Amino acid sequence: QKTNTYTPQQNGMIERMNRTIVEKARCLLYDADIGKKFWAEAVNTAVYLRNRCVAAGLNKTPIELWSNRKPDVSHIRIFGSEVMVHIPKETRKKFDKKSRKMVLVG
C-alpha cells in the first residue's frame, strides 16, 4: 500500500516503530558513552535487537515469524562494552601485544 509523500500521519505504525528504534539507539549511545558518531551502528544494533525480541500479543519474535525458527541470541554482547581484539601474527612483531582494547559497537 502506498502513501503520499511527506505525510507521516498516513503511516502511523511505521512512524512509531522508527521512533522506537531511534529512542533505543539513543539509549545505546548514551549508556555506552561513545558519542553520536556511532549513531549508524547504534541504529543497526537497535533493529537487530528489536527483531530478536518477542512481539507483543504474538508471543514470537519478528525473526521467528519470518523464518519459522527461534533466533539464536547466544552471540549477543553488550553494546559499548570493552573488548579485546586479536592482532594477527602477520601484523605484529615478536614482542608486540597479541591483542588490544577496543569498544564493541555492533
Tens digit of pLDDT for each residue in 26-74? 999 999 999 999 999 999 999 999 999 998 888 899 999 999 999 999 9
pLDDT of 1 over the 80 cut: no
Nearest in space to 32 (alpha carbons), one of 104, 85, 84? 104
- Contacts with 99 (C-beta within 8 Å, 6 or more apart), sequence order: 84, 85, 86, 87
Cα 96 to Cα 89: distance, rounded to the nearest angstrom: 10
pTM of the model: 0.82
- Contacts with 89 (C-beta within 8 Å, 6 or more apart), sequence order: none
Nearest in space to 105 (alpha carbons), one of 37, 57, 54, 14? 37
